[in-house]
Chains A and B, each alone.
Chain A
Amino acid sequence: MADTSYDLIVLGSGPGGYVAAIRATQLGLKTAIVERENLGGICLNWGCIPTKALLRSAEIYHYMQHAKDYGLAAASISADLEAVVKRSRGVAKQLNQGVTHLMKKNKITVHMGEGKLTAPGKLEVKGAKGSETLTAKHIIVATGARARDLPFAPADGKRIWTYRHAMTPPEMPKKLLVIGSGAIGIEFASFYKDMGAEVTVVEMLDRIVPVEDADVSNFLEKALKKQGMTILTGAGVEELKATATGVSAKIKTKDGKVEAGDFSHAIVAIGIVPNTEDIGLDTLGVKTTKGHIDTDPYCRTNVKSLWAIGDVTAPPWLAHKASHEGVIAAEAIAQELGNKDVHPHPMDVRNIPGCTYCHPQIASVGLTEAKAKEAGYEVKVGNFPFIGNGKAIALGEVEGFVKTVFDAKTGELLGAHMVGAEVTEMIQGYTVGKTAELVEEDFMHTVYPHPTISETMHEAVLSAYGRALHI
């Protein structure tokens, strides 16, 4: 019989869990990981990565349709959704195998099955071959989250979809209703719009992508409307029914009128529910807030030697937050087990960037202008449009801007908000700066390469101090 006692067991192998396991073995801990479905979790099987593959196809399709703008001709362009999806699944499979390899390379024992905490340091795993009991000095809960259903219209996978159905669609939707305009809703709205569907987005709050800066929301709304998308803000879906040919919805609009609408399909993207059921949290008395596990900045729960990371804990619910928490938790555990050379640093959510891969893209880090003012900061705000950037003009991507929010007193970069081409690849520049606590002078003294769109980041800093050069 195999030895089933470990230094650390990680429950869940998503981007939080598998990274925690790798970091733990780097620090010499005997580590196991428990997964009920796919190694790599939602992110690389059903989330971030396969959607990026889909969006890449949509982007290229978009360019092909606009070939003329670049002096090129492309005749009889068409999209094969099945092939697009097949490519996306291929990408997911490749990465799934990558994680399997990483587990093997790091000598992490993988237990496939449903894990449940039965006592402190004890986990029962029910797998295909029966159940076994594992023990560990420390356990990390990294079970993630799933899509929230509309209470009156649960997803059926045929006409009413969650992100998961939308990723492997049975057919191309002709007329799509997207409920919710967070990152997931807007990405699918953008994807299907580019693929040729007629798209309507319904958002309950008064603006789309409501966690972003208001300037970003307004800019994106205009851009999407220009592409032909219908956007209803301050509106709610009151009724949603699958019919033989599609879905019928009753939408209460901003002015209080209830309008009926028929669509071919609907995507429900109204948020997530943490996966906390049946994993034994009650047995151990783990504290939660709105279902999400409470943790300190080192990912400790209220129960000794039990840790939690990623979507199962407090927001933001992003893969890179989960991965980073995995590293912090693994290091803090190693330290508790006597490793004196490891120095975990607490999580600061203000330094976690967020990216949304709609078209145009959105990326941001830190406080919005409104939130900064709410927090009592006296702010200096900078803004620089892509139209003032040579590279953006050369690329034919002049739609976008960079906004910076500085603390007028200390020069601290409180937040940065970007919309436009490649911004998701650029936000890390500000994130590094924020993490290192650079002030406006440091950004000003940084030489940005020419010609790049990143020069807009430099200009947006200069702009906050009335020194922008190219506008």
Chain B
Amino acid sequence: MPIELKMPALSPTMEEGTLAKWLVKEGDEVKSGDLLAEIETDKATMEFEAVDEGTIAQILVPEGTDNVKVGTVIAVIAGEGEDASTAKAAPAPAAASAPEAKTEPAPAPTPAPASAPAPATAAPAPAASGDRIKASPLAKRIAAERGIDLSTVTGSGPGGRIVKADLEDASAGVAAAAPAAAAAPAATPAPAQPFETDIPHTAEKLSNMRKTIARRLTEAKQTIPHIYLTVDIQLDKLLKLRGELNAALEPQGVKLSVNDLLIKALAKALIQVPKCNVSYAGDQLISYQRADISVAVSVPAGLITPIIVGANEKSVSKISTEMKELAARAKEGKLQPHEYQGGTASISNMGMFGITQFDAVINPPQGMIMAIGAGEKRPWIVDDAVSIATVMSATGSFDHRAIDGADGAQLMQAFKQIVENPLGLVA
């Protein structure tokens, strides 16, 4: 039997992806573990490995195809001893990126053994039939109002038509998923429109990562009332400690960065001020008992936030080695979704560019992000006398729906106190 290779779901939330590159060609022999293709999701490029042995009989989705739905057959492998050319003919060479839409009308729920009256459940049949979506006028209204994509809704009405009741289920599903998944699609960016200008220019198609950045930043700025709190923090003690630690850790090949120490400091501060380690989730507030710090890493295609899980409990050397490894893979676009989706708060450091202070955009559904400016020598007043100290400005952005100003201020104070008395970081 020829084996159908289907577009894999490389993360639990992945619905579609770009088939970025084929690493095999028709006629190639593959065995389990061989790399077949590179698949680009919204944030990362992942390698797709072979599970079965055989010969690549046919490639159905050419490389560079966008929006390939999970489950779409992308290639066919002829099994051992099979003729690749016969295997090739087996699957219908359907348009590769066509969604698997069935026009079959919705069957009623399978009749369960009778019990107390139960509400009818929608049957699993997609309402979409080609481009036309069958939906009642009321269902269309409600979908438009709530921003529900009707192509994702299953219709239970006559002939699979989407009716009001189907949307009640749909919106409930969206609400439940929102707080959990960092990658939950909310607003979809408007479709590409011809851009007119006389100025000489080039037009480049947005990468999936760029689209995700745009969508999430827009969502954050439009839905989250941000407040910004800034403190100046003296760094001399921390820099001194870093020097000593690095000298001691050198034999182990560990070199701590200031940022590694600040990640730990933020994690500790969040545990000290739990009111800031939260997510605003519709009608509930989620308070986290662990500080998972998302660290903004600039990569050629944009920005990604690998996560130091449980940073409050990890040693600074552990944070440092993890961070180096994550950053390296981030730059190659090889992070797994669980490595950049989640986190309870973020840190973004632009000190290396000489930026002294900035306000960062919250990374939903997190409740705060810490923006770190450059450490620089500044006049510093101690006991009414001007002295010189290495000082940095740190600005916390807080989701004001979930976090009051005073609580945010407490976190900034805790962060400052920890950084200025850094021995606690290694305790």
Contacts and interface: CB of A to CB of B under 8 A. Distances in A.
A332 B114 contact: no
Contacts of A287: 116
B105 interface: yes
A302 B115 contact: yes
B111 interface: yes
Interface in A301-337: 301-306, 332, 335-336
B108 A439 contact: no
B170 to A, nearest CB: 15
A346 interface: yes
Contacts of A336: 111
Nearest to A342: B108
B119 A297 contact: yes
B138 A437 contact: yes
Contacts of A446: none
A442 B164 CA distance: 16
B379 interface: no
Contact of A412 (B105, B106, B108, B164): B164
B137 interface: yes
A188 interface: no
Contact of A343 (B106, B113, B119, B145): B106
B108 A344 contact: yes
B249 to A, nearest CB: 62
B199 interface: no
A441 B137 contact: yes
A169 interface: no
Contacts of B158: 343, 345
Nearest to B136: A437
B120 interface: yes
A51 interface: no
A212 interface: no
B141 A439 contact: yes
A298 interface: yes
A168 to B, nearest CB: 38
A336 B117 CA distance: 17
Contacts of B138: 410-412, 437-439
Nearest to B111: A336
Contact of B113 (A304, A340, A436): A304
Interface residues of B, number: 25
Contact of B139 (A295, A304, A344, A437): A437
B163 A437 contact: yes
Interface string A411-435: 1100000000000000000000000
Interface string B372-393: 0000000000000000000000
A411 B141 contact: yes
B105 A442 contact: no
A345 B157 contact: yes
B108 A298 contact: yes
Interface of A is mostly: loop
Contacts of B111: 298, 300, 332, 335-336
Contact of B136 (A294, A295, A345, A436): A436
A343 B105 CA distance: 8
B120 A297 contact: yes
B183 to A, nearest CB: 30
A436 B117 CA distance: 25
A346 B117 contact: no
A335 B105 CA distance: 14
A106 B164 CA distance: 36
A436 B156 CA distance: 13
B117 A294 contact: yes
Contacts of A412: 138, 141, 164
Nearest to B142: A410
Contacts of B106: 343
Contacts of B107: 335, 340, 343
Contacts of B203: none
A10 to B, nearest CB: 17
B118 interface: yes
A346 to B, nearest CB: 4
B164 A296 contact: no
Interface in B156-186: 156-158, 163-164
A185 to B, nearest CB: 30
Contacts of B117: 294-297, 300
B113 A296 contact: no
A290 interface: no
Contacts of A409: 145
User: Which of A306, A343, A412: most chain B Cβ within 10 A?
Assistant: A343
A340 B182 CA distance: 41
B114 A303 contact: yes
B113 A437 contact: no
Interface string B95-114: 00000000001111001011
User: Which of A297, A306, A438: most chain B Cβ within 10 A?
Assistant: A297
Interface in A322-379: 332, 335-336, 340, 343-346
A302 B108 contact: no
Contacts of A294: 116-117
A301 B114 contact: yes
A302 B114 contact: yes
Contact of B141 (A301, A303, A410): A410
Q: Which 6 A-B pairs have CB atoms at the shortest separation, nearest pair first? A: A437-B136, A437-B138, A346-B120, A296-B117, A300-B114, A336-B111
Interface of B: 105-108, 111, 113-120, 136-139, 141-142, 145, 156-158, 163-164
14 contacts: A294-B117, A296-B117, A296-B118, A296-B120, A297-B117, A297-B119, A297-B120, A302-B115, A305-B114, A335-B108, A343-B158, A346-B108, A437-B137, A442-B137
Interface of A: 287, 294-298, 300-306, 332, 335-336, 340, 343-346, 409-412, 436-439, 441-442
Given A296-B118, A439-B137, 18 more contacts: A297-B117, A300-B111, A302-B116, A336-B111, A340-B107, A343-B107, A345-B108, A345-B156, A409-B145, A410-B141, A410-B142, A412-B164, A436-B137, A437-B136, A437-B138, A437-B139, A437-B163, A438-B137
